[in-house]
Amino acid sequence: MTQAPSQEAAGQKRSSLQEALDVHRIMSLVPLRPYMELAEVSSGHGFMAIPLAKFVWDGKVIAVDPDTAALERRVAEARLGNLTVLHGEGQAVPLGPGSVDGVVLTLSLHQAKERDAMLKQAGAALRKSGWCAVIEWRADAPQGDGPQTGERIAESEVERLGTEAGLRPTLRRELSDQTYLVLLTK
């Protein structure tokens, strides 16, 4: 039985994204501990939130997204009691001040109309010594998956915006020929 064209295309896009973003590699680059409280903003279908919740078995993960229905189904299927879905409008970070140890922004900062505000909100949500992992499309990469080249955000721009938000750049890594990670620490 073959998939409908739209399902097949969605499957190809998802596998292409999974190739560009190795979840286990990303998790090895950020300072994760099993007791941490984390948030992923613009979680989509929980691509990062679900593996994070499995790792922080003694902590919790808050998955923030404007479209919570699909994410709630995936969370129910995964049977994770430490993963909470929170409705958030656009790229807002609807978390209380000092409420989490880490924030993950997976391919969402480039979409924000006010990138500086998004990073300031993420920084405010962090506890002392907390971190924010920004995963984005490389601005200098040839056009492939992801947004148009002009819509992408360079690593140096993420670092500048992070510094303006009161965060310190502590790590910069290429994840693939299309993506990178910048770790910002409070």
The domains located in the chain, with CATH, are: 22-185 (3.40.50.150)
In whole angstroms, give the CA distance from residue 31 to residue 175: 16
Sign of the torsion formed by the C-alpha atoms of 58, 63, 64 and 69 = negative
Collapsing DSSP states into helix, strand and coil, what is residue 128?
Answer: strand
Phi/psi of residue 170, each to 5°?
-120, -15
Query: What is this structure's pTM?
Result: 0.87
Residue 67, pLDDT score? 87
Mean pLDDT score, 128-142: 92
Counted residue by residue, the chain has a size of: 186
pLDDT at 64 over 60: yes
As a whole-number percent, the residues of the chain with pLDDT over 90 amount to 66
Average pLDDT, the chain: 87
Least confident of 13-22, 65-74, 87-96, 137-146: 13-22
What tens digit of pLDDT does each residue of 11-51 get?
Answer: 444 445 656 689 999 999 999 999 999 999 988 888 899 99
What tens digit of pLDDT does each residue of 136-146 get?
Answer: 999 888 777 77
